[in-house]
Amino acid sequence: MRKTADRIRHAVLFEIVGLALVTPLGAIAFDKPVHAIGAAGLVGATIATGWNYLYNVIFDRVMQRALGTTAKTTPLRVLHAFLFEAGLLALLMPFFAWYFSISLLEAFIMDAAFAVFYLFYAYFFNLGYDRLFPLPEWKKEALQSE
């Protein structure tokens, strides 16, 4: 399993890269000023960073208990990304409604659009991260399965 420092690096990198991508795209998609999307994105990224850390600890512990490994197959990566975004949607929707002075339905639509973006982003970011920073146990498992 990943160590605390690795999890912190993962969460921080995930949010920095995601914020750099989503701020200009969100401003265009929702016809809001870049600074407003950026500020909401920064609050969202802060909430998401804490959620990212907590969620991944829980997910990895469940995987370790249930499967004996934290190596993720493609279906597990899809489930991982989907559950992460569903939890984050529940956390951020009330904030978006308040910050943008919009209805909960409008906040849901806005948050859902961000969630769809982040769903794909999370899958590819985590795939790349795992390839850049593989765990030693995965190499041992691959050798044992050959």
- Cα torsion at 14, 75, 72, 116 (round to 10°)? 0
Domain range enclosing 8: 4-138
Do the domain assignments include residue 124?
Answer: yes
What's the domain count of the chain? Answer: 1
Q: Confirm whether 145 is domain-assigned.
A: no
In a domain, 146, yes or no: no
DSSP assignments along the chain, one per residue = ---HHHHHHHHHHHHHHHHHHHHHHHHHHHT--HHHHHHHHHHHHHHHHHHHHHHHHHHHHHHHHHHS--PPPHHHHHHHHHHHHHHHHHHHHHHHHHHTT--HHHHHHHHHHHHHHHHHHHHHHHHHHHHHS--HHHHHHHHHH-
Compute the half-sphere exposure of residue 56: CA atoms within 13 Å on the CB side of its CA. 23
Is the pLDDT assigned to residue 143 strictly greater than 60?
Answer: no
User: Among 114, 116, 127, which residue's Cα sits nearest to residue 73?
Assistant: 127
Say if 144 falls within a structural domain: no
* Residue 95 belongs to some domain of the structure: yes
Confidence of residue 90 (pLDDT cuts 50, 70, 90): confident
Please compute the mean of the pLDDT values over residues 86-111 and round it to a whole number: 92
- Determine, yes or no, domain membership for 80: yes
- As a whole number, mean pLDDT of residues 19-47 equals 92
Provide the percentage of residues in the chain whose pLDDT is more than 90. Answer: 55
